[in-house]
Amino acid sequence: MLGAMARKTANDDVLAPVTLAVGQEDLLLDRAVREVVAAARAADADTDVRDLTPDQLQPGTLAELTSPSLFAERKVVVVRNAQDLSADTVKDVKGYLGSPAEEITLVLLHAGGAKGKGLLDAARKAGAREVACPKMTKPADRLAFVRGEFRTAGRSATPEACQALCDAIGSDLRELASAVAQLTADVEGTIDEAVVGRYYTGRAEASSFTVADRAVEGRTAEALEALRWSLSTGVAPVMITSALAQGVRAIGKLSSARGGRPGDLARELGMPPWKIDRVRQQMRGWTPDGVSVAMRAIAEADAGVKGGGDDPEYALEKAVVVIARAARSRGRG
């Protein structure tokens, strides 16, 4: 134990007894958890990871999870949305902060606002290691994030390339991180604006999935704008109907699955865990009827695109409007 801790404490003590990840940017919160889990598993491959939501952490649960075991196993206990914990559970956690258990790393994910501030203050006072995970709302922040991603990958990208990537991908941090990973894997040498242009301007999958994402989120104007941009850059209409179908199908699959942890659902539904998280956010306004209506609209658009109609662009616009309306069907009851 001490040897492993000593190795880790030399820089940033990832295996500190308590890590506090503060903010509302899902990608950064997930990374903070992954970093701790990876360090714990490097120290002990059999590390037991418990990933809990506030309703799963009842009064007494933390004491059970952190009580000494016969086998002195290493454990990582992750508590998501710690700002939503009940008052009694907060008392438990505050008590634990005063005398954390050996071999256990507690990771508290907290939104950082006024709600649950007492727990946030207590964790800071107890000397928790803190990771900032702020929502990146400003373009300058996203640009700095992209630069940082290239730096972390040990690669150089020109300022113009970073800006072009932000312009092409938009505000989704996961997509930006994924784009940087793709470029660094595929391209040798300095990444410049021309490379980004070749990759992302009119890159069919990227732009067709943007149309689908905005449509299933009920953002009609943005979906139509993305659709016109995609078509103007030469994306085949059939790619767009395919992306729309995938987006609506994913919502149908996940809404019928309900419950379960992202990892388990990912295996069951054949989607990566980050996709489960995104679809969960997208499905909030959907009803089963909405999914049926949207799938019918996509089938009609597909027929229109493949020669059943005179105007593929109109067929796609109509489908996008129907899908975006269906995405708000729960609100209209």
Residue 110 to residue 89: CA distance in whole angstroms? 15
Describe the strand order of the beta sheet including 129-132 as a list of residue ranges: 48-52, 75-79, 104-110, 18-22, 129-132
- 333 residues of the chain, pLDDT tens digit each: 333 333 333 337 899 999 999 999 999 999 999 999 999 999 999 899 999 999 999 999 999 988 876 666 889 999 999 999 999 999 999 999 999 988 899 999 999 999 999 999 999 999 999 999 998 888 889 999 999 999 999 999 999 899 888 877 777 888 899 889 989 988 889 999 888 877 776 454 557 888 999 999 999 998 998 898 888 766 778 889 988 998 999 898 888 776 666 667 777 777 767 777 778 888 888 999 999 999 999 999 998 888 756 688 899 999 999 999 999 877 654
Nearest to 131 by CA among 207, 63, 53, 33: 33
Q: What does 193-234 look like in DSSP terms, one character per residue?
A: HHHHHHHHTT-HHHHHHHHHHHHHTT-HHHHHHHHHHHHHTT
Question: What torsion do the CA atoms of 174, 177, 183, 189 make, to the nearest 10 degrees?
Answer: 170
**Total Cβ atoms within 10 A of residue 104:** 23
Residue 293 to residue 34: CA distance in whole angstroms? 39
Q: What residues does 78 pair with on adjacent strands?
A: 51, 107
Hey, what are 183's tokens? 């470029």
The DSSP 8-state label assigned to residue 127 in this structure reads: T
**Total Cβ atoms within 10 A of residue 52:** 19
Contact 329, 291 (CB under 8 A): no
The DSSP 8-state label assigned to residue 306 in this structure reads: I
Structural domains of the chain sorted by starting position, each given as residue range(s) with its CATH number in brackets: 18-133 (3.40.50.300), 139-200 (1.10.8), 208-327 (1.20.272.10)
Residue 105 to residue 103: CA distance in whole angstroms? 7
